[in-house]
Structure 1
């Protein structure tokens, strides 16, 4: 076997691999001899089938296996000796397509190698972490929000008109083409106006009604309505208003606390304080992480594999296109243009990805099984009723596991850098922190 370098330009590598006919024949013969003791054919005892007969019957298939194994072995040996780490799967092609048994096999191998990533002196990296204290005003604001969410409804004064946000208690019967339809009637139904829980246009027509009033509400079912026999049809609902109620926020007291699982108001305040501090800390860390990545981006320069950058730019363009066109759920949308902005962002992502991977490897950062399992379980909760199927899918799909593991690894590497970088804390207001967080949306 002979390996000849044909290209060495930047990160690009090219090689010509020649497998001699004698090498391949020897490999095939070895496979035949290894299998011979277990083979039994008509007219021969087990293990006594002549090699010539075995070669005639199994030789072509084994020749293909021998070729693949030899090429894979030559490539693995080369990568081990050279220390190259291909950025993507190497492109392997057989060049003598008119090959026949007895000929040498000639193969070309091309790939881009991952670059050498320079070391970074983290002590020279300066990062500011924004800190917000959970003060009494913030706690009170949260308590008022909780009280609003736990609101009750009380009868308005007799004769009062229903307003947006009020609750109306109604009986209704719906008809399409004069005929009642299944699921189109209810009694004593509590409907909050403005909640958008009914067909579009229904709730708006009840604004201004009074208790004991009767009214016909005419609406049109959406074209994509789940019940196909009603989709796009006009319906008339005969509505009887039995009560008009106005919202009343719950009192901020022990009873409110119990609704949210706390023993009393003081315990609820403690929970609120801890939750706010956790939210502020998470937001502050996100801003500090962005600042750290910006500093790392400026601190090092190295060549990037064009194939990785192109793949990342294409993925970014595809993702952003779907965000701008949410009505397209599939991928039959034709080619998506990759702009200079996509490429610029791809360069940053690839660069920082390679840098963080190198830092994590040198620091021996690992994602534990328990950390990965917990992350999978957290994502599974986003699919109510299908948690088990999601968990089993991820367990059987290495690509899905990698997508979940990657951000955990990145955050652990970032935390490692934080311990060695020059990090200072700056106390700011909640509004200033929120402004800093909002600025993150424009970048990675």
Structure 2
């Protein structure tokens, strides 16, 4: 086997790989010798088929396998000896297109090598950690929201008109083109006005109704409605209002606490306090993580593989376009060209991604099986009733496993870096923390 460098510009590398005909022939003979003891052929006992006959029968197929394995072996040996790590899958092209058995195999391999990552003195990085305690006002506000979410509805005074937030109990029949459609009717249906439970425009027309009212609600199904037969269609609903009820918040007492799995109101307050503190800590960590990434971006500089930057910029542009056009489903749209702003953000992401990967590798940080299982379980909850199918999908999809693993690995690396930096705690208020969190979205 011969390896000759043909390109060395920046991070671009090119090599000419040659696998000689003699090496290929030896590889084929090796494969035939391995298979011979198990081969049965008419006229010969098992394992006694002549090598010449085996070569005639299986040689062409084994030659292709030997060629692929030989090229793969040359590439693997090259990366092991050179220490190069390709940024993306190397481009491999066979040069002698008119190849025939007995010829050497000539292959051109090109790739972008990942750059050498410079050492970073993490101890020189200074970070500020915002510390916010769960005060009584925050706890009382959270408890009040729990009470409101557990509210009951009581009949309003006879003849009272409904208000936004009230519950109306209705019978209704939906029609398209004057014909009732399947699934468009119900009796004694409790609908909270303003909940957004029905299609846009429906609930708004029920504000101001009284028990006993009969009316026709006119609406149009959204273009992106799940039922394609109804999507974009104008519809009417014949509605009978059977009751109008006003919300009554639940009382903050031990009974409410038990409804949320606590033994008493005091125990519920403790749970709420711990949850709020956990939320504050999570927000504080996000702020500190951004500060860390900004600091690393300032002190680290190295060449970036253009292919990674281009791929990341395209992904950013594509995602932002869909964020700005939420009604456009699928990807049947014109190509979205990344802007200079997209490219600048892509460079930052690629630089920090390579740096974190390097620091994580040196620290021997791994994502455990237990952490991956927990991540899969958390994701599976988004598909109620289909959890098993989701687990099977993840098991069979390496890209999906990588998507789940990447943020876990990054967070573990960031926590590792936090331990190496100088962190100063600063007592702050909830408003100060919220302001810092809001600033993350502005950048």
TM (normalized to structure 2)?
Answer: 0.92
Shift of 1:279: 0.1
Match of 1:303 in 2: 303
Tell me how far apart the structure 1 counterparts of residues 213 and 421 of structure 2 sit (CA, whole Å): 70
Tell me how far apart the structure 2 counterparts of residues 250 and 329 of structure 1 sit (CA, whole Å): 41
For structure 1, the 5+ residue unaligned runs are: none
2:235 is the counterpart of 1:237? no
Deviations 1:143-175 (A, max 9, x none): 121122122223333332221212223344556
Q: 1:343 to 1:43 in 2, by over 3 A?
A: same
Match of 1:253 in 2: 253
Match of 1:5 in 2: 5
Shift of 1:206: 2.4
Deviations 1:83-114 (A, max 9, x none): 11111111111111111222222111111111
For structure 2, the 5+ residue unaligned runs are: none
Matched-pair contact (CA < 8 Å) for 2:165–2:246: yes
Match of 1:347 in 2: 347
2:227 is the counterpart of 1:226? yes
Match of 1:383 in 2: 383
Mapping of 1:148-227 within 5 angstroms?
148-173=148-173, 183-222=183-222, 224=225, 226=227
Shift of 1:350: 1.1
Tell me how far apart the structure 1 counterparts of residues 435 and 246 of structure 2 sit (CA, whole Å): 35
Mapping of 1:330-369 within 5 angstroms?
330-369=330-369
Matched-pair contact (CA < 8 Å) for 2:214–2:238: no
2:272 is the counterpart of 1:275? no
Q: 1:13 to 1:153 in 2, by over 3 A?
A: same
Deviations 1:287-326 (A, max 9, x none): 0001011111111111111111112112222222222222
Q: 1:79 to 1:97 in 2, by over 3 A?
A: same
Q: In structure 2, the residue corresponding to 1:101 is in which secondary structure?
A: coil
Q: 1:259 to 1:47 in 2, by over 3 A?
A: closer
Match of 2:66 in 1: 66
Tell me how far apart the structure 1 counterparts of residues 418 and 221 of structure 2 sit (CA, whole Å): 55
Q: In structure 1, the residue corresponding to 2:115 is in which secondary structure?
A: coil
Match of 1:429 in 2: 429
Q: 1:338 to 1:186 in 2, by over 3 A?
A: closer
Q: In structure 1, the residue corresponding to 2:127 is in which secondary structure?
A: strand
Match of 1:147 in 2: 147
Q: 1:155 to 1:41 in 2, by over 3 A?
A: closer
Matched-pair contact (CA < 8 Å) for 2:123–2:420: yes
Q: 1:297 to 1:218 in 2, by over 3 A?
A: closer
Tell me how far apart the structure 2 counterparts of residues 395 and 30 of structure 1 sit (CA, whole Å): 35
Match of 2:126 in 1: 126
Matched-pair contact (CA < 8 Å) for 1:250–1:256: yes
Matched-pair contact (CA < 8 Å) for 1:218–1:237: no
TM (normalized to structure 1)?
Answer: 0.92
Q: In structure 1, the residue corresponding to 2:327 is in which secondary structure?
A: coil
Q: Which moved more, 1:189-198 or 1:267-276?
A: 189-198
Shift of 1:181: 5.7
Tell me how far apart the structure 1 counterparts of residues 90 and 397 of structure 2 sit (CA, whole Å): 23
Match of 1:291 in 2: 291
Tell me how far apart the structure 1 counterparts of residues 56 and 231 of structure 2 sit (CA, whole Å): 69
